Chain A
């Protein structure tokens, strides 16, 4: 019995190593003084960070990613929150169909969204433009806003707005002072998910972004098709730092949302 337990624990530990190892192995390589992406490291150096942070290529890509990500997030949060407000507590059949439309971009393979947007946008001159890329990212990001906000609204006690009305609040005031603060954490976590979706996207960017809109993942994708240099691992390390901070932020938000529900 205890032998089985030992085996079981070892197996689980191995799975955890499998999950984390590929993320951890790239970090030390970014401090390599050599040109190869392999161990053992010949020595310590910050040259690759210098190349990434003081060269044009990566900084431009980072700026593009942030710019497109923020715009797509703003658009997703605005459109997604409005539509969640429209959908919440609706029983009719058409609401189900509309909800299907709203979450469909999450189910349909991204490659198909990218290819169809490419065919649609190319004749309109929207490929190779920031606008096209922002719209493309909004398509794939918006379900991540609709779903959490809709959940928050459905959990909301309908008596709250009635109480506000009974106290003499106008619908507008009641919305701003009662509903909005309650759905805020859901909107924030939706926004984070939307941003992460845009920030992590390669497929849509491959089809819609031109040379001027190269995002960080697109640049990384191109770089990976040729032999890697430690510059790549330096960018990867920065991205790990960034996504870990997003992740911690997300955990905080969710904890707060859970506390509120209790």
Chain B
């Protein structure tokens, strides 16, 4: 979707900045915020580039680098840690053949870590583009990855 159009959905109060950035990122192939779009947003919200950059850099959900279609974020906070979060991470690395913060060659998956996702009663937990999956085990992880690989093929 066109960035100007996304911006126009909001009035130019700075209050709407973070919401607009979400929308822009979600609608950008590669799940990230492009330089040109940030410039447009800065203009739209009457901010300097450094201010908008400071905001983008602060929040862990935003990225300035292109990422995969699906962003897998593995929770590393204590409750998930207790339930084997590091194993989950290890399995995902193996399964996807990438390291942390890398993207698979087919641009399908990016592997990240995150702090608590608020589903700790289901620990260990990860999210794929903000769908939260809990009670992870080897098989479930495999299924989830398979699910997304197929979803991609289906399209």
* A and B pair up: no
Could you tell me which B residues sit within 8 Å of A by CB distance? none
